[in-house]
Amino acid sequence: MASAQLPLLPVPRLKGHIINVASVPQRSPFRYPGGKTWLVPYIRQWLSSLPARPCEFIEPFAGGAIVSLTVAFEKLADHVTMVELDEQVAAVWQAVLGKHGAELANRIISFRMTPANVESVLSEPARSIQDRAFQTILRNRVNRGGILAPGAGKVKNGEAGKGIKSRWYPLTLKKRILDIGTIRDHMAFVHGDGMKMMRKHAYQPDTVFFYRSALHGRGKTSRKPSVFALGT
């Protein structure tokens, strides 16, 4: 069956609704400043407008995967697959969706957040997926802007002068990780190239893809939906 781009561009306005992002549950363990919470109502509307619930929803460039998590939690597709190339980001999804989510959650809860402890964890080589996942979560929370790249600066003053602790919410992180664990049977994670994944599944029936173009998401237009969705 030939693939077709669904008419998500431009995304129809949500009739009579002001998007209230506070009503969108935060489900990702990642902090992505400028994250795409505002997009969630559009995705709900798009998926509900399809003739049938998709069998497979694929997010080829997962990152914090807020959209995939929404689709999985709200059962907007039978199954959700997230793809991510970056080793650090991938480790978090591998741990959370694998058998070690609880271990990661406990590690977060037990961690005493001090600059010395952060330094010590981040200077050690990761020996397992769980090690790498924990380091990634830590970096995402203590680095300015959540940036994971080597050399990223740490938060200095942060919220209310709390410094590196200002984005560290261990109980919230634990809850999100354990909650995701409850739906992991409906989700899969692939550590690999999202482009390849799209090519591989392009003609699979009842499959939809969701991705955003970085080119459209910058500058003044960054809050405008610029989403590509493909259905077969």
Ligand X SMILES: C[S@@+](CC[C@H](N)C(=O)[O-])C[C@H]1O[C@@H](n2cnc3c(N)ncnc32)[C@H](O)[C@@H]1O
For ligand X, which residue has the nearest CB? Answer: 63
Q: How far is CA 122 from the centre of its chain?
A: 22
Q: How far is the CB of 152 from ligand X (least distance, A)?
A: 14
Q: How far apart are CA 34 and CA 36, in angstroms?
A: 7
Q: Count interface residues toward ligand X (CB under 6 A).
A: 16
Amino acid in position 89: V
Residue 177 or 197: which CB sits closer to ligand X?
197
DSSP state of 150: T
Contact segment (CB under 6 A) with ligand X among 94-102, 103-111, 137-145, 191-199 equals 191-199
Residue 89 or 133: which CB sits closer to ligand X?
89
Q: For residue 194, state whether it binds ligand X (rule: CB under 6 A).
A: yes
- Give the contacts of 172 (CB within 8 A, at least 6 positions apart): none
- Give the contacts of 204 (CB within 8 A, at least 6 positions apart): 56, 232
Q: How far is the CB of 184 from ligand X (least distance, A)?
A: 19
- Mode of pairing for the β-strands spanning 79-84 and 187-191: parallel
Identify the residue among 84, 135, 174, 229 touching ligand X (CB under 6 A).
84
Q: For residue 212, state whether it binds ligand X (rule: CB under 6 A).
A: yes
Q: For residue 148, state whether it binds ligand X (rule: CB under 6 A).
A: no
The binding site for ligand X (CB under 6 A) comprises 36, 59-64, 83-86, 89, 193-195, 212
